[in-house]
Every structure is written in structure tokens, then in C-alpha cells.
Amino acid sequence: ALAQDASPLAAGEGWHGIGAGQFPVPAPVGPAHHGIHWACPCCGLCGVGLELGMPCPRSHSRLRRGILATMLSLLPCCRWAAFLYRGAHQRRCAVRGWLQLGPSRTVEPWRRKAYASKVTRKAAKRSPTYGRFTQQLDIVAGLSGPGSRERKIDTIRRYFALLRSADQSALKAALKLLLGQLQPDKAGFKLNVGEGVVKAAVEELDSSALDTITNEMQAGIADDLSTAVGNVLQRLDGNKQSAVSLMEILEFFERIASVEGSGAVRERTQLLASMFRQMTGREAVYLVRTLLGKGPCIGIGESLALKALAGHPDVEASEAEIKSRFARDPDIDRLVDVLLQKQAGGVAVSQAITLHLPFRPMKPVPEQSVDSAWTRISSGGDWVAEWKYDGERLQIHVDRSRTTIWSRSLKPISEKFPDVRAMFKNALSDDVTSAVIDAEVVAVVRRGARWEQLPFQELAKRKGKVVDQEDISVIVSVYAFDCLALNNASMMERSLRERRQKLQESLKVSEHLCLPESVLISSRSDLEGALLKSIEDGTEGLIVKDLGGEYMPNCRTPAWLKLKKDYLESSLSDAIDAVVVGVGYGTGRNAGIFSTFLLAVRKSSGPGLQTLARLGSGFSNAQLHELYEAVKDKVTDDGPPDDIELVTKPDPWTRRSCQWIQREFRPVWEVRCADLTLSPQYSCAMGLGNRTELAAHGISMRFPRLVRVRDPSDKDVPDATTAHEVLSLYDAQVKQSGSPDARAQNRSAESAPSARAPTGRPKRN
């Protein structure tokens, strides 16, 4: 009866058996196990698992430490000897294991399946724990190779099925934790937990933990901070058995988010340390990832999770219906309620828009050249090119009583833009009661009789919470480019041509509320001319749209094409030979090697270097390993050398896990970029020529990329580009753009910058 691989619930090759409320257990391999699989229906663990000390919630848990557990991993005859020595309960467990797993021809398969399904439902209702959830995540993370996508979906689907008899809250909690979306649309919900809080919480348990974490990450033992924390907790108490439930984890996140005021950091640290004491190392790995906003990082995204949800036994909605619903209303609680109510004959899956409830925006497909974009456009249809402004995308919900504003990532930012709310207070036409507008907000400055746009960095200076309009230091304009709902009716199923017409009719434009400049495209020359004109106007490029296309939330479709100058050949007339002066360790797959490089150029006069940019993308894995081997023995962590001019003390670079390359070993790289820009973080050309815009800002590179590593015999540090040469390239770029020195003057007094400069490059929405 105890034969090989006969589970009716097997998840596929390499799996055997699902016990009561337990996950599929990887089949043991190797000659020591003789291919024999036994699983207890009370805990779902095989004999090998019991031998290794894994927990068992029922009365036969003493087998974990006795000779019987050892016998289970030996010959089949020893397994029968163990069977004879067990008590009455253990014999019943063995018989149930035979019913569930054995290939006996005397027991019908449907009877084994029915019994196993009954036991697993009872166990899931009894204990939907976080530990079992993380075990499932480990299983999914270990799936790779051909067909792994479908096996991941099937594994998640079967876990969702285990929770079907539990309270709906267990399914909701599992889906939230799987997607890392705890409260996607709840105003004010922020965990406010960074790496510093995590490290401090671990130090509460082990005073030497910080050094251990740093060493493991640099040595590549731990892929990231979460793995290093898990290793520390595992060493502290490797035999700990956690009983934290899924709901307790969500309640913990709610408590963390509610902490405010003085002493908030200390209180969050203590809460996190208390939770660490209750869980195992593997559980802590996924907890830390969720706290840091990364999600589980197991290769399960929103699409796969919703596809698994569509296979839930109590859900009759199709995968397409579920994805459409979630794109328009990304609230997991409402999604699960609606889906399960539909199964009972209740509320159908709705595609209507609810005002003041954000949904995920439609996204364009990036094109790398005018030719590739024209290839798509020439395939048919009428197309229009709209200017793409260098700002932040907004989703604005407005009615006669209030206006709410959401970011591209669905964060509530109404308090950040009180002037935009006031702008829309009387912006609707008399026959319009409500609307949902897709728009872009851009920082502007008045120059004479007209308003000119400023780069995104200026908009990032605006405070996250502005109480009064008098506190506004950065003036903005809003460019409305789509109408998604009108008078409580969805417009997304209509064509773009009709939506643009309704937008023009329903919105009252004003000095700071505008429609984007656009041009119809009928030939390749029209497209190329529009791109050049948009760049001359100081914008990022074009969004080319099919006038017959519908609005598809949370989709990236070729009905919208993004053509930015950043994707095209660099606008610089020459490359820059920069000196690599600092290196920073990477995380994830790049843990243990350098993945970030600080670039500098020579001063215009006298010895020394000025920082130019930080290069951390565009490398292949092989390139990073090659660059690491080239400089790994030539770095020091004694602090920044005195020949490098830093903007602030300490420089933002020194706050990272970085090291400095010794002077005699600094390589020279040929680099290019999308364009040059002003930045308060770098010192290149700062103060040069007594120019106003360079008083407190240096020149930096936007989207830098490595062209090649210079041979020292060809170009060494004395031959590197100077700050004066970089400034000449910057001036040529401004002249070429056709803008009236907009970039050079965007940090002048007219732009009213905030008193406090940002400490680093802001993350763009």
C-alpha cells in the first residue's frame, strides 16, 4: 500500500500528496529514501519531514524525536515495524494515509479524493496560518523551467481552494499578501517602514545582527535584506514553531500604519521586533519584503494571481471578467465579495466606474525609433500625436461637491495639489455634473507674458502635503488629455475620437488648465516633424494614439505609442569620457557584486574631480561580473578621497553601501546619455562662469549608459573630459532644442524653488 507517487491530488511531477490543510510537499529524492512516500493526513508531512523535525499539530508529534521517526526513513520493512509500534491514533493516521496516497486497487479513486478533500477543507478552516502561506510561496518560488508558469498558477489555485471553507477573510488576506497590495486605495495608509527600522528591530533580538547582515549581503550569501534577516532569525531559534495567522499579519500591518507622532520610529521598531519573536526565519523573509513594498518576489504578478483566482471552485466569473473588474476597482476586499456573491446568484461582476474610486490607468507601448512607430501606425486607422509633458500623471475625479486626485500608482495626492482642486471646482460645463479626467501636471514659471514648462525635478520639490495655497512654492499647469467618465457613465468603451470631443465640450480651459498640443498623423514626415517640434517645445516627446481605440485600464497596448527623445539616439554631439571613482553593491541577483558606479569629470582648472552622475542600469549580468572582477581588489571603504568635490557633507553617495576606487586604479569610461540636466546632487561645473543657474546646481546626465571601457593606454584620468567641456555640451544642447534657455534658467529666482533641495533623484510616477 505504501507505494510510489500515487496521490490523486498530486500537483504534477515531483510532488506527492496533500495532507490535511498542508501544502504539497516536494517528493524526497536520493537513494536513502528508496522512493517510498508516506504522508500523514493530519499534518501533511512525509516520514522524511518528521525525521527532520518539522512540526505536527496532532498527537503523533512525539515521532519527531524518537527512533520511530528514524525508522520511517529506512527500508520499507522498518516502516511496517513503526506502524506496529504506534498507538491507536497513529494506526488510524496510517490507514488514512493509505486511503489518501496508496495505489490500492481495492479502494476507488473517487473515495480517496472525496476523503482528502473533506480533510483538507476542515484543516484550512481550522488554521489558515502565515507559516503555511509562506511554505506555499517557497514552493512557487522553486518552480522553474518549461511549464513553470502553469504550475505556479495551479499551485496558487489549489491553495485558494484549501481556503474555500474558511472565512472569506482568509482568501482576501492571502490574495493581499500575495500581491503585496494591503490597502491600495485607502487614503493615508502608509507603512512608513524602511531598511533602518528593519535592521533596528533585528538588533533588538541580536546585538551583532547588523554586522552579520552587512557581511552576508556583501558576500552574496543573502540576496537582499529580507533574506539576511531570515538567516539571522533562523540561527537564533531554528526550531521555532510559528502559529501566526494570516489575519494577525494584516492586523500587524494596520498597527504599523497607524503609528504616528513623536517616537513613531521607536514604536514601529518595537512592534516589528515583537513580531519577529513570534515567527520563523522563512516567514520573516516575506514579511520584510512586504514591509519594504517589494511583495513576495516569487514570480507571481497580478495577472497570474487573478488567473489562479478564476479557478477557485466558488468563482464562476471568467479570467477576463476578473481582470477587467480589478483594473477598474483594485480593491481586493470588494473583488472577493463580488465574485463570491455572483456565485450565489447575487451581484454580477460590474464594469461601471465608481466616482472617487481610482482605477489603474492605460499605458503606452514604448517605441525605439520613428521607423518602428510608423510601421505600427501605417498598418491602419486614424492616429493623433499628443505632446508628452515632463510631469506627473494624475487621475482626477470631480463632481459638484469635491475633487479627488490620485497618482499613477493610485496613491491619494489630493492634499499635495490644493491649487488643482480649486482649478477644477468650476471647470465643468453647466450640463456636466461629474467627470473622471486623465491628465498630466507640470511645473511652470512665468517668463514675460507666457508660462514656460520646467523639468520634473522642479515639480518634485513640491511638498507632499500642502495645507494652504499660500504655502505653494511650485506653480503648476494641468494638461487634460482624456475623459474616462461623464455624468456617472463610463466613457472607456467609446473611441478616443469621441472621448476627445466630450473632453473639449465638458471642460472649461483656463490659464493653467489646458488641452495638450496635438497633430494628426498621415505620413512618416508628419510623425518626424511632430517629434522634432515637441522636443523644441521642451517636452519629452510624443504619445501617438489610435483615434478609434478604446480606453483599456491597466493595459499596455499598441493603441498608444510612446516616442520619447530618451529612446532615440542621444542628443549629445559627443560622448563623455568620465572617471569611475566609486562603486556600490547591488541587491537581489546582483548581491555581492558592484552594480552602481559613481562617475566624475576633471575640474576645469586645477587638480581634482567633480561628480557627474550615477550609472546603475543597462548592464548585463556578465558585464557586471566582469566589471566587478576588474576593480574588486582596488577599492577602499576609508571614506571619500579628498580630491573629489562633493556637493554636501555627507554626500548622498556615502549613505549607500559603497566603496571608493583607489586613485591609481580609477578607470575611464566612455558614456552617453539622453541629455544633460541641472541637479543639486552633483558638483560638475557648479559655480563655473558665475552663472546664476550654476550657483547651487551642477550638471548631470539623464539616463546615462556605458559605451565602452577605455584602455588606459588610450585614455587615462588626465585625458578625461573636463567640467568646462561638459558645460559646452550642455549649452549646445539648449541651443539645439530651440527653447529660450529654459533649462538654463529653470532654477532661477522666478521658479521660486523650495528652500530645501532634494537629497537624491526623485522617483518618477
User: Alpha-carbon distance 554 to 277, whole Å?
Assistant: 39
* Contact indicator for 280, 240 with CB cutoff of 8 Å: yes
Looking at domain 576-737, which CATH architecture does it have? Answer: Beta Barrel (2.40)
> Which range in 158-162, 240-244, 393-397, 556-560 is most confidently predicted, on average pLDDT?
393-397
Name which of 58-72, 121-135, 187-201, 291-305 the model is least confident about.
Answer: 58-72
Q: What is the pLDDT of residue 215?
A: 85
% of the chain beyond a pLDDT of 70: 73
How confident is the model over 78-108, as pLDDT tens digits? 444 444 444 444 444 444 443 333 333 333 4
User: Can you tell me the distance from the alpha carbon of 162 to that of 49, in angstroms, rounded to the nearest whole number?
Assistant: 21
Compute CA distances 721 → 234, 534, 577, 640, 685, whole Å.
Answer: 51, 30, 5, 21, 12
DSSP H or E run through 503: helix 496-506
Q: Are 309 and 161 in contact (CB under 8 A)?
A: no
| Cis status of the peptide bond prior to 650, with omega within 30 of 0 | yes
pLDDT band at 640 (very low <50, low <70, confident <90, very high): confident
Largest CA distance in the chain: 96
- pLDDT tens across 416-449, in order? 899 999 999 889 999 999 999 999 999 999 888 8
Mean pLDDT throughout 155-177?
Answer: 85
Domain ranges within the chain, ordered by starting residue: 133-292, 363-567, 576-737
* Residue given cell 556600490 in the structure block: 584
Check: pTM over 0.95? Answer yes or no.
Answer: no
Predicted pLDDT at 481: 96
How many residues does the structure list for the chain? 765
pLDDT of residue 13: 34
User: 756 pLDDT exceeds 80?
Assistant: no
pLDDT score, position 29: 37
Residue 732 parent element (H or E): helix 723-737
* Confidence (pLDDT) at 210: 86
C-alpha grid cell, residue 388? 508628452
Decide if domain 363-567 falls under CATH 3.30.470.30.
Answer: yes
Q: Residue 538: what pLDDT?
A: 81
The predicted structure's pLDDT at residue 742: 41
Q: What is the pLDDT averaged over residues 222-228?
A: 86
What pLDDT was estimated at residue 515? 95
**Phi/psi at 434 (5° precision):** -155, 160
Mean local confidence (pLDDT), 714-728: 88
Helix ranges restricted to H, 608-713: 621-631
Asked if 363-567 and 576-737 have one fold, the answer is no
Contact between 422 and 413 under an 8 Å Cβ cutoff? The reply is no
Give the mean pLDDT of 604-632: 87
Between 154 and 79, name the one with better pLDDT: 154
Cell of 1: 500500500
Burial class (CB in 10 A: 0-12, 13-18, 19+), 313: exposed
pLDDT of residue 122: 47
In this structure, what are the phi and psi dihedrals at residue 396, rounded to the nearest 5 degrees? -110, 120
- Average pLDDT, integer, range 454-479: 80
Say how far apart CA 253 and CA 233 lie, in whole Å: 20
445, 538 contact by CB (below 8 A):
no
More confident: 253 or 8? 253
What's the pLDDT score for residue 652? Answer: 53
Higher pLDDT, 11 or 567: 567
Tens-place pLDDT, residues 471-482? 788 899 999 999
What rounded mean pLDDT belongs to the chain?
76
8 Å CB contact between 73 and 48: yes
Whole-angstrom distance, CA of residue 728 vs CA of residue 735 = 11
In this predicted structure, the answer to whether residue 499 has a pLDDT above a threshold of 80 is yes
pLDDT in tens, 12-28: 333 333 333 333 333 33
Cross-strand bridge partners of residue 486 = 435, 489
pLDDT at 352: 58
Q: What is the average pLDDT across 474-497? A: 93
The one-letter amino acid at 32: A
657 pLDDT tier (thresholds 50, 70, 90): low
Q: Confidence band (pLDDT; 50, 70, 90) for 219?
A: confident
Decide if pLDDT at 685 tops 60: yes
Q: What letter represents residue 460's amino acid?
A: A
Cα–Cα distance, 228 to 288 (Å, whole number) = 10
Q: What is the mean pLDDT of residues 286-307?
A: 87
Quick one: pLDDT at residue 294?
78
Distances (CA, A) of 133 to 165, 242, 260: 16, 12, 30
Question: Which among 365, 202, 228 has a CA at the least distance from the CA of 285?
Answer: 228
Cα torsion for 163, 169, 175, 178, to the nearest 10°?
-90
Residue 1 has pLDDT above 70, yes or no: no
Label residue 606 by pLDDT band (50, 70, 90).
Answer: confident
Residue 29 DSSP symbol: -
Short-list 34, 30, 26, CA closest to 7: 26
Q: How far is CA 504 from CA 361, 392, 420, 439, 483, in A?
A: 20, 21, 18, 13, 9
Better-scored residue on pLDDT, 344 or 575: 575
Q: What is the mean pLDDT of residues 35-49?
A: 39
pLDDT at residue 588, rounded to an integer: 66
Confidence check: pLDDT of 261 > 50: yes
Fold of the domain built from segment(s) 133-292: DNA ligase i, domain 1 (1.10.3260)
Alpha-carbon distance of 287 to 586, in angstroms, equals 21
Lowest mean pLDDT among 34-48, 219-233, 379-393, 703-717: 34-48
Contact present, 513 and 480 (Cβ < 8 Å) = yes
Name the phi and psi angles at 20, rounded to 5. Answer: -70, 105
Q: Predicted confidence band at 166 (pLDDT cuts at 50, 70, 90)?
A: low
Q: What is the pLDDT of residues 521-559, one digit of tens each?
A: 999 999 999 998 998 888 889 999 999 999 998 888 899
Closest CA to 611 of 466, 512, 733, 723: 723
| Helix boundaries (H) for 147-244 | 148-162, 168-179, 195-205, 209-219, 225-236
pLDDT of residue 466: 65
Average pLDDT (262-290) is 91
Q: Which helix (H) or strand (E) holds 670?
A: strand 668-672
Give the distance, in angstroms, between the CA of residue 469 and the centroid of all CA atoms in the same chain.
Answer: 33
- Each residue's pLDDT tens digit, 355-401: 888 888 999 998 878 888 999 999 888 999 999 998 999 999 999 99
How many Å apart are CA 752 and CA 7, to the nearest integer? Answer: 70
pLDDT of residue 467: 63
Give the model's pLDDT for residue 410.
81
- Band the pLDDT of 266: cuts 50, 70, 90: very high
* pLDDT for residue 713 is more than 90: no
The alpha helices in 507-620, defined as continuous H runs, are: 524-536
Strands 609-615, 644-645: pairing is: parallel
Determine the residue type at 181.
Q
pLDDT band at 188, cuts 50/70/90? low
- CA distance linking residue 389 with residue 442, whole number of Å: 7
Amino acid at 630: A
Say yes or no to pLDDT of 595 above 70.
Answer: yes
Q: Which of 52-61, 581-590, 647-656 has the highest mean pLDDT?
A: 581-590
Of residues 729, 579, 554, the one with CA closest to residue 669: 579
**In this structure, what C-alpha cell is assigned to residue 332?**
481586493
Taking the C-alpha atoms of residue 567 and residue 694, their distance in angstroms, rounded to an integer, is 28
Is residue 41 a contact partner of residue 101, using CB atoms and an 8 Å limit? no
Helix (H), strand (E) at residue 435: strand 434-447
Question: Residue 698 in 3-state DSSP?
Answer: strand
Q: What percent of the chain has pLDDT over 90?
A: 30
